[in-house]
Amino acid sequence: MTLCRALTFLSDCYCLCYNKVMPKHLIPVLSLLSAVILLLMLNFTTPTGVGPFGVLVFFAACYLVVLGIATAVVGLFTKILGKQMGKKNYLYAAIIAFGPIMVLLVQSLGALSPFTVGVIALLVFLVCFLVSKSSSQS
């Protein structure tokens, strides 16, 4: 009976630790790891040499780096407002981080113009507005 209680207590502690602490540490660590991958890719490979999977890894690493920066910026604004970082703030960071990646994708296709940058900015704003009006997230 006590072993069952101990296991339940440990599992509750793990869930509490995962829910409260993990995003704070996971996003910066993944961002730094992605920055190292980007530096290695940019110094030792060419776009034709890495192939399609390498291009996918490049864009995913770019997204994770920008996600780390966006999370830090959203966290800074959250602290200035005197609030705590919640799920909705992580969603804002993920949405904002996708904007520069869309610009990079459009530039790689050779279709970058002020109009496309405006459309991307409008899309990011609309999705952030949708998240702010969502009542299911806290």
Tell me the per-residue pLDDT of 98-124, one tens digit each, with 9 for 90 and over.
999 999 989 988 889 999 999 999 999
> Residue 78 burial by CB count (10 A; 0-12/13-18/19+): exposed, middle or buried?
middle
Helices (H), the chain: 2-44, 47-80, 87-109, 114-133
The model carries a pTM of 0.77
Residue 44, token pair as written in the block: 């030792």
Greater pLDDT, 24 or 87: 87
CB 101 within 8 A of CB 59: yes
For the chain, the domains span 23-133
CB 59 within 8 A of CB 97: no
Tell me the per-residue pLDDT of 5-38, one tens digit each, with 9 for 90 and over.
543 444 444 444 445 555 677 888 999 999 999 9
